A and B are shown apart, each in its own frame.
Chain A
Amino acid sequence: MNPKNKGLSRRAAYWLALLGSLAGCGGGATTASTPAGEALSAAAVAGKALFSDTSLSVSGRQSCATCHVAARAFAGDSAADHGLPVPLGGANMDQTGFRNTPSLAYASFTPGFSIKGRPTGGFFRDGRASTLATQAQQPFLASFEMANHDAAEVVARLRQSSATVQKFIAAYGEAVLDDPETALRDIGLAIAAFETEDPDFHPFSSKFDYWQQGRAQLTAQELAGLALFNNPGKGNCTACHPSQRQGFDSHPLFTDFTFDNIGVPRNWAIPTNHPDGLSPIDGAPLSAPPAQVVIPADAEYAYYDLGLCGPFAPAAADANARPILAATTSLCGLFKVPTLRNIAITAPYFHNGVFSTLRQVIEWYVTRDINNNAANNPNPVAAGPGGNPYAAAGTFYTAANGTPDLYQYNDLPAAYDANVNIGEVPYTPPTFGGGQAPTLTSDEIDDIVAFLCTLTDGYDPKNPNAYNLPAQCRGGAAAGAAAYTQGSTL
Chain B
Amino acid sequence: MIRISFARFTTPRFVRTAVLAATALCAAMSAAAAESGGKPSVEQQEIQLLQQQLAAVQAQMKLLAEQNQTLLQKELALERQVTQASLAAQTQTPAPVAGAAASPSPATSGAAPAAGGVPAATAVTGPAAAGAAFSNVRLWGYGELYYTRPTRDPGKAKADLARAVFGIGYSFDSRTEFNSEFEVEHAIASASDAGEFEVEQFYVDRRLSNAVTLRAGLFLMPFGLLNEHHEPTNFYGVQRNFVETLIIPSTWREGGFNVHGDTESGFSWNAGLTTGFDLSKWNYAPEFPQYSTALDLANSHSAPLASTHQELALANAHDLSQYVALGYYGLPGLSLGAAVSSGKAVKVPAPTNAPIPGDQRVTLWEAHARWTPAKFDLSALYAHGSISNLGAANASNPGSPNPIPSEFYGYFAQAAYGLWEQGDYRLAPFVRWERYNMGSRYAGTSGPVVPGGLVPLSATPGDYGYWPRNQDRVWTVGANFYTTPHVVFKADYQWFDLNSDFNRFDLGLGLNF
Binding site for B on A (CB under 8 A): 11, 14, 204, 209, 212-214, 223-224, 226-234, 236, 238-239, 242-245, 250-252, 422-425, 428, 430-433
- Given A425-B455, A428-B461, A431-B453, the answer on whether A230 and B399 have CB atoms closer than 8 Å is yes
Task: Tell me if B451 counts as interface (CB < 8 A to partner A).
Answer: yes
B455 x A424 contact (CB < 8 A) = no
Residue B452, interface by CB 8 Å: yes
Kindly list chain B residues whose C-beta atoms are within 8 Å of the C-beta of A433: 453
**Interchain CA distance A431-B466 in the complex, whole Å:** 11
Residues of B within 8 A of A214 (CB): 354, 357, 392
Beyond A226-B399, A242-B285, A423-B461, whether A233 also contacts B450 by CB under 8 A is: yes
Cβ B353 vs Cβ A14 within 8 A? yes
- Per CB-CB distance, the 9 closest pairs between chain A and chain B, nearest first, are A233-B451, A227-B399, A230-B399, A212-B354, A227-B398, A250-B352, A239-B287, A213-B354, A423-B461
Chain A CB within 8 A of B496 CB: no
> B398 is contacted by which of A223, A423, A430 (Cβ under 8 Å)?
A223
The answer on a CB contact under 8 Å between A231 and B399 is yes
Known: A212-B354, A229-B399, A243-B285. 18 other contacts (CB 8 A): A14-B353, A209-B353, A212-B351, A213-B354, A223-B398, A227-B449, A230-B398, A232-B286, A232-B401, A232-B455, A232-B467, A233-B401, A233-B467, A244-B397, A250-B353, A423-B459, A423-B460, A430-B456
**With a CB–CB cut-off of 8 A, which chain A residues contact B401?**
230-233
- State the CA gap A234–B398 with chains docked (Å): 13
| Closest CB in chain A relative to B13 CB, distance in Å | 57
Interface centre among B349, B456, B458, B463 (most CB of A within 10 A): B456
Tell me, yes or no, whether B328 is within 8 Å of chain A by CB.
no
The answer to whether the Cβ of B464 comes within 8 Å of any Cβ in the partner chain is yes
- Check B454 for interface membership: any CB of A closer than 8 A: yes
Residue B134 lies at the interface, judged by CB distance under 8 Å to chain A: no
Q: Is B293 an interface residue (CB 8 A)?
A: no
Q: How far is the CB of A291 from chain B (nearest CB, A)?
A: 32
Q: Are B352 and A430 in contact (CB under 8 A)?
A: no
Contact B451 A234 (CB under 8 A): yes
Cα A230 to Cα B288 in complex, Å, equals 12
Instruction: With CB as the reference atom, state the residue of chain B lying closest to A212.
Output: B354
A232 touches B451 (CB 8 A): yes
B267 within 8 A of A: no
A430 to B452, CA, bound (A): 9
Task: Name the prevailing secondary structure of the A interface residues.
Answer: loop
B495 CB within 8 Å of chain A: no
CB distance from A159 to the nearest CB of B (A): 43
Q: Is the CB of A424 within 8 A of B397?
A: no
Tell me if B449 and A230 are in contact (CB < 8 A). yes
Which residues from chain A contact B452 at a C-beta distance below 8 Å? 233, 432
Q: Bound complex: CA of A150 vs CA of B479, how far in Å?
A: 80
Interface size class on chain B is 35 or more
- CB neighbours (8 Å) of A424 from chain B are 287, 456, 459
Interchain CB contact under 8 A, A232 and B288: yes
**Contact partners of B288 in chain A: CB under 8 A:** 232
Determine the distance from Cα of A229 to Cα of B462 in the docked complex, in whole angstroms: 22
**8 pairs, A vs B, C-beta closer than 8 Å:** A214-B354, A214-B392, A227-B449, A231-B401, A232-B451, A233-B455, A423-B461, A425-B451
Closest to A228 in B: B399
- Judged by a CB distance under 8 angstroms, whether B11 is at the interface is no
Chain B residues, CB < 8 A from A431 = 453-454
Q: Smallest CB–CB gap between A60 and chain B, Å?
A: 42
Shortest Cβ distance from residue A258 to the other chain B in the assembled complex, whole angstroms: 12
Cβ-defined contact, B456 with A425, below 8 A? yes
Q: Which residues does chain B contribute within 8 Å of A223, judged by CB atoms?
A: 398
- Cα separation A227 to B395 with both chains bound (whole Å): 10
B400 A230 Cβ-Cβ under 8 A: yes
* A236-B453 in contact given A212-B351, A230-B400 (Cβ < 8 Å): no
Considering the complex, give the chain A residue whose CB is closest to the CB of B460: A423
| Bound CA–CA A122/B449 (angstroms) | 34
Does B396 lie at the interface of the complex (its beta carbon under 8 Å from any beta carbon of A)? yes
| Interchain CB contact under 8 A, B451 and A430 | yes
CB 8 Å contact bits of B239-266 with A (1 = contact, 0 = none):
0000000000000000000000000000
- Complex Cα gap A424–B399 (Å): 17
Tell me if B475 is interfacial: C-beta within 8 Å of chain A: no
With most chain A CB atoms within 10 A of its CB, the pick from B354, B392, B461, B462 is B354
Q: Tell me whether B287 and A232 are in contact (CB under 8 A).
A: yes
Inter-chain contact B351/A245, CB cutoff 8 Å: yes
Shortest distance between the CB of A323 and any CB in chain B (Å): 22
Q: Does B6 contact A (CB under 8 A)?
A: no
| B197 is an interface residue with CB less than 8 A from chain A | no
How far is B285's CA from A234's CA once the two chains are assembled, in angstroms? 13
Closest A residue by C-beta to B459: A423
Chain B residues near A239 (CB-CB < 8 A): 285, 287
Cβ contact within 8 Å between A251 and B351:
yes
| Docked pose: A252 CA to B401 CA in angstroms | 18
Chain B residue nearest to A7 (CB atoms) is B352
CA–CA, A16 to B454, complex, Å? 48
A247 to B: closest C-beta gap in Å? 11
Whole-angstrom CA separation of A303 from B285 in the bound complex = 38
Q: A212 to B397: give the CA distance in the assembly, Å.
A: 10
A213, A233, A245 pick with most chain B CB within 10 angstroms? A233
Central interface residue in A228, A231, A239, by most chain B CB within 10 Å: A231
Residues of A within 8 Å of B285, CB to CB, are 230, 232, 238-239, 242-244
Task: Write the nearest CB–CB distance from A171 to chain B, whole angstroms.
Answer: 30
Q: Which residue of A lies closest to B465 (CB)?
A: A430
The answer to whether A230 and B397 have CB atoms under 8 Å apart is yes
| Residue B284 lies at the interface, judged by CB distance under 8 Å to chain A | yes
Chain B 423-471 interface residues, beta-carbon cutoff 8 Å to A = 449-456, 458-464, 467
On chain A, the residues within 8 Å of B398 by CB distance are: 223-224, 226-227, 230
With A233-B450, A250-B351, A432-B452 given, is the CB distance from A422 to B287 under 8 Å?
Answer: no
Q: What is the CA–CA distance of A424 and B354 in the complex, to the nearest angstrom? A: 31
Residue of B nearest to A437 (CB): B453
Asked if A430 and B354 sit within 8 Å, CB to CB, the answer is no
Contacts of B451 in A (CB 8 A): 231-234, 425, 430
Q: Which residues of B contact A244 (CB under 8 A)?
A: 284-285, 349, 397
Which residues of chain B are near A251, meaning CB under 8 Å?
351, 353
**What's the minimum C-beta distance from B352 to chain A, rounded to whole angstroms?**
4
Interface core residue of B400, B401, B462, B467 (most chain A CB under 10 Å):
B400
**B392: A residues at CB distance < 8 A:** 214
A residues in contact with B357, CB < 8 Å = 214
B273-293 to A contact mask, C-beta < 8 Å, 1/0: 000000000001111100000
- When C-beta atoms are compared, the residue in chain A nearest to B283 turns out to be A244
A340 to chain B, nearest CB (A): 14
A230 CA / B394 CA spacing, docked (Å): 13
Residue of B nearest to A431 (CB): B454
Give the CA-CA distance A422 to B357 in the complex, in Å. Answer: 40
User: Chain B's nearest CB lies how many Å from the CB of A190?
Assistant: 28
Q: How far is the CA of A433 from the CA of B454 in the complex (A)?
A: 9
Q: How far is the CA of A422 from the CA of B456 in the complex (A)?
A: 10
Complex: A227 Cα to B456 Cα, angstroms: 19
Within 8 A of A (CB), among B322-367: 349-354, 357
Contacts of B453 in A (CB 8 A): 233, 430-433
Query: Which chain B residues lie closer than 8 Å to A226 at the CB level?
Result: 398-399
Q: Is the CB of B353 within 8 A of A204?
A: yes
Q: Which residues of A contact B467 (CB under 8 A)?
A: 232-233
Contacts of B400 in A (CB 8 A): 230
What's the nearest-Cβ distance from chain A to residue B501, in Å? 15
A326 to B143, CA, bound (A): 49
Q: A233-B455, A250-B351 are in contact. Are A212 and B461 (CB under 8 A)?
A: no
Nearest chain-B residue to A252 (Cβ)?
Answer: B351
The answer for the CA separation of A423 and B459 in the assembled complex, in Å, is 5
What distance in Å separates the Cβ of B345 from its nearest Cβ neighbour in chain A? 18
Q: Which residues of B contact A230 (CB under 8 A)?
A: 284-285, 397-401, 449
Contact A430 B459, CB 8 Å, known A228-B399, A229-B399, A242-B285 = no
Q: Which residues of B contact A232 (CB under 8 A)?
A: 285-288, 401, 451, 455, 467
CA distance A130 to B396 in the complex (A): 35
